[in-house]
Amino acid sequence: MPEPSLLERTGVSKATFERLVAFRRDLHRHPELSFEEERTAGRIAAELDRLGIAYRSGVAGTGIVADLPGREVGPAVALRADMDALPIAEQTGLPFASERDGVMHACGHDGHTSMVLGAAELLAAGPPPPLPVRFIWQPAEELGEGAKAMVEAGVLDGVGMIFGGHVDRHYPAGAFAISDGAVNASTDEFEIMIAGRGGHGARPHEALDAIVVGSLLITALQTVVSREVDPAHPSVVSVGSFHAGSAPNVIADRATLEGTIRAQHPATRAHLCASVERIAKAIGAVHGAEVTVKVIPGTPPVINSPAMAELARRAARAIVGESGVVPLHTANMGGEDFAFFLDVIRGCYVRVGAQVPGREGFPAHSSRFDIDEDALAAGAAFFARVAVVAGEALLEEGRG
Ligand code: NI
């Protein structure tokens, strides 16, 4: 007997799988930027109409929220997907490559949207899930703003647990990487303004050189992560832009630096933000320059509680077996606004293996990013299953 194929193991029918692939390719062809996901939302709504699932559209702008009743009344299990694309010119050469200049689904959100839709189809076709299931398609994950807007629009009202995921090129389709603890980093940004005193390049003693202060500051910031943070706690401080000066023989009176701060632990996050400010101000003081620091809060880290991760693993094992469920290989310092949902309720964020077999894998946000579409079946089956597993767990808690 040959090994059953991934599709056979997921229990997703060939017809459903083909529909998901066609749906994903249609989204891929017509990508939309953050908070502009009008067409995408319209396509989701049309599919929900076909499935006879009630929904609300226009939530937080372009978001969609659908509800499938459960066998019993009680807290819902939410399944979340993001819908937005990126301002990138696609270079994959795929037959269904983007038809919109300079916009591309380069992060797989077309896949996530299809997976959650697939879960809706699977759940609607089967016996009712233990408790209601809420399907959430959010706008603007790439800006780190969509999830927050959806929470503010009340999409978590009546929800007990939430699950979400991301395609991942480090694991083959049919693998799920599910870890306890931090799985995405916080994403704060900083802006540092240095006010010196301009002058003639030949007479530095008459001026206060903002470029020199900025350079010293950049060097000093390198010690935050290397000398102040526990090496076991992944963290990053990067200066991404440095603007100053106007001519070779003029000393710059002003410099502006911008950068990003990443951490996986809330305490480390707070420490890094405070240190950047402290060091910037101190370097300014040493040289007599006026320095102002602005830290712009981004998304918190995504932290899976062990209990929620265990529910997700149970669901994944039911589809791909013990060997298909692994912990994350490495810390991921990327951000993910799913964190805003986890600020409110319990849940788990998983990585869905989507490595393209036999080809070099390009990272997310690359103009050549692509996924193995078998991941759509695995992801849809996982989301449907976790809705059942989590629903049972919530019922159990209610009885306990
Ligand atoms: Ni993404």
pLDDT band at 3 (very low <50, low <70, confident <90, very high): confident
pLDDT band at 252 (very low <50, low <70, confident <90, very high): very high
Rounded to the nearest whole angstrom, what is the distance from the C-alpha of residue 130 to the centroid of ligand 1?
30
Distance CA 25, CA 148 (A): 28
Rounded to the nearest whole angstrom, what is the distance from the C-alpha of residue 362 to the centroid of ligand 1?
14
Q: How far is CA 299 from CA 16, 102, 110, in A?
A: 35, 26, 22
| Sign, Cα dihedral of 213, 234, 85, 132 | negative
Average pLDDT over residues 241-270: 97
Q: Are 382 and 352 in contact (CB under 8 A)?
A: yes
Rounded to the nearest whole angstrom, what is the distance from the C-alpha of residue 388 to the centroid of ligand 1?
25
**pLDDT beyond 80 at 400:** no
Joined tokens for residue 293: 């620091």
**pLDDT beyond 90 at 190:** yes
Rounded to the nearest whole angstrom, what is the distance from the C-alpha of residue 84 to the centroid of ligand 1?
9
pLDDT band at 19 (very low <50, low <70, confident <90, very high): very high
The string of DSSP letters for 346-373 reads EEEEEEEEEEPTTSPPPPTTSTT----T
Rounded to the nearest whole angstrom, what is the distance from the C-alpha of residue 233 to the centroid of ligand 1?
23
Distance CA 33, CA 98 (A): 12
Residues 77-89: pLDDT tens digits?
Answer: 999 999 999 999 9
Q: What is the pLDDT of residue 181?
A: 95
Domains of the chain in sequence order: 6-183+302-399 (3.40.630.10), 188-296 (3.30.70.360)
Average pLDDT over residues 369-396: 97
pLDDT band at 284 (very low <50, low <70, confident <90, very high): very high
Distance CA 350, CA 341 (A): 14
Rounded to the nearest whole angstrom, what is the distance from the C-alpha of residue 141 to the centroid of ligand 1?
7
Rounded to the nearest whole angstrom, what is the distance from the C-alpha of residue 164 to the centroid of ligand 1?
11
Q: How far is CA 209 from CA 205, 277, 282, 296, in A?
A: 9, 20, 16, 26
Q: What is the pLDDT of residue 61?
A: 97
Rounded to the nearest whole angstrom, what is the distance from the C-alpha of residue 253 to the centroid of ligand 1?
40
**pLDDT beyond 80 at 103:** yes
Residues 264-281: pLDDT tens digits?
Answer: 999 999 999 999 999 999
Q: What is the pLDDT of residue 2?
A: 67
Residues in the chain: 400
Rounded to the nearest whole angstrom, what is the distance from the C-alpha of residue 111 to the centroid of ligand 1?
10
Q: What is the pLDDT of residue 358?
A: 82
Rounded to the nearest whole angstrom, what is the distance from the C-alpha of residue 72 to the centroid of ligand 1?
34
Q: What is the pLDDT of residue 1?
A: 61
pLDDT band at 361 (very low <50, low <70, confident <90, very high): confident
Rounded to the nearest whole angstrom, what is the distance from the C-alpha of residue 107 to the centroid of ligand 1?
4
Mean of per-residue pLDDT scores for the chain: 96
